[in-house]
Structure 1
Amino acid sequence: MFDSTALFFSALAAVASAGISAPAYAATPASAATATPAACPALLRQNFKRLQDDAPQDLCQYAGKVILVVNTASYCGYTPQYEGLERLYAKYASRGFVVLGFPSNDFGKQEPGKSKEIADFCFNTYGVKFPMFAKSSVTGAEANPFHASLIKATGKEPKWNFTKYLIDRNGKVIEHYPSKVTPEDKQVVSKIEEALGS
C-alpha cells in the first residue's frame, strides 16, 4: 500500500541533506497557512549606494522593521546626535529597529566631504554602525526619491540637518521630528517602543 506520509518525510530528509533551506514563511502557524510573505511597502522600494563603499542597497531589506530615517551632516550643531542615534540602534536593533542615515549638504553646506571622509568621520568620531547611504539632497526639487516620498506622506520637509521620520513595520510614516528633538527624547523613544510592540 502506498504510504504518502513516509514518502513526505523521505523527501523532507533529502531536502535537508542537500542543504536547501525552507523559505522563512514555511514555518507559518497552521492558523495562518494561507498567509503570504509581506511584500515590500511602496515607500521602501528604493535603491541607494552604501556610504562606505558605494555598494547598491535595496531598502526592501528593511521591510518589516521600525525605521528612523535621519538626514545627517558632519559639521552641524546637531552632529552630536549621532551618539544618541547609535545608542538607539544598539538598544533596539535586536527587536527589529534600524536607523537609516542620509548625509546631505543641503543645509549650511555642513556636509562638504566625499563618501569616504563622511564614513570615516561617522565611525571614528561617533562609532556609527547603523546603515548610512551616499550623500544626497533631501529637500526641494532635487530631493532623493525616498525623502520625496517621506515629504509627500507627512507634508513636512526637512528644515535642517537631523530631521527625523519614524516608519512602522508596515512601511507607514507615523511621525516626523524636527532637528531639535533629540533621538533619545521621551517622545521619540515611546513612539519607537510602541511601534515595536512593547
Structure 2
Amino acid sequence: MEDCDAIMRMTWESLFPGTDYDGWKHQFDAASLEFNDRLLREAQEEEEEDSSDSNEGNTQFDESEEESVPETPQYPPAVPRLESNQVAARATRIWSVAEDETLIRLFMEISENAIKGTSQKATSLWRDVHAAYQMAHAEKPHILPPRPMKRLTSHWRRLAADTLQWISCYDEAGRLPEGGSGYNEADRIKCASKLFHLA
C-alpha cells in the first residue's frame, strides 16, 4: 500500500507540480465513500418501499380495468433453448469472473449513461442494471445464472471499492509520462495492473 501511494504521489507531482496530492487523495476517497453510501442508502430505501407496497393489498382493484391495460413486453425476455451439450448455469454464492465482469460493465454503462445522467436515483439505476443483467443472462444462460436485484446490489457493494481503485489506476496509467508514441492499450492495462496490485 505504501509503495502504491509513493508511486501515485510521484506521478501526481510529475504531472501536476506544486499541487496538493494529499488534498486530492483525501477528497477522492471521501467522494468515493459518499457515492457508495448514497447508492446503498437509496437501494435500501427502494427495497423498503417495494416491500411495504407489496405488503399492502390493493382493495380498490376493478376487474374491468384489466382489459383496458395495453400489453407490455415481458422482462426478462424468454430464456432461449440450450443446445444438448450445454447446461444452464446455476446461481451459487461464489460469483464467476464472467458474472463480475458483466455486473461491472453494466453498472458502469448505466450509471454513466449520457441520456439519463449520473444523478439518477438508485432505485431506477438498479432496476435498469437488473433488467440489463437479465437480458445478458437470456443471451448466455450457460454462463450467467439468474440473479435477483438484491444479490446484484449486495455483490456490487463488495466489488465497488476494487472497481473504483482499478478505474483510478487505469486513469493514472493513461497520464504517466512514459505514454509515448508506442504506448498502446495493452501497455496502459499492464501499467494499471501494476499500480493496482501495489495498492
TM interval, short-chain normalised: under 0.3
Higher helix share: 2
Higher strand share: 1
Structure-1-length-normalised TM-score = 0.26
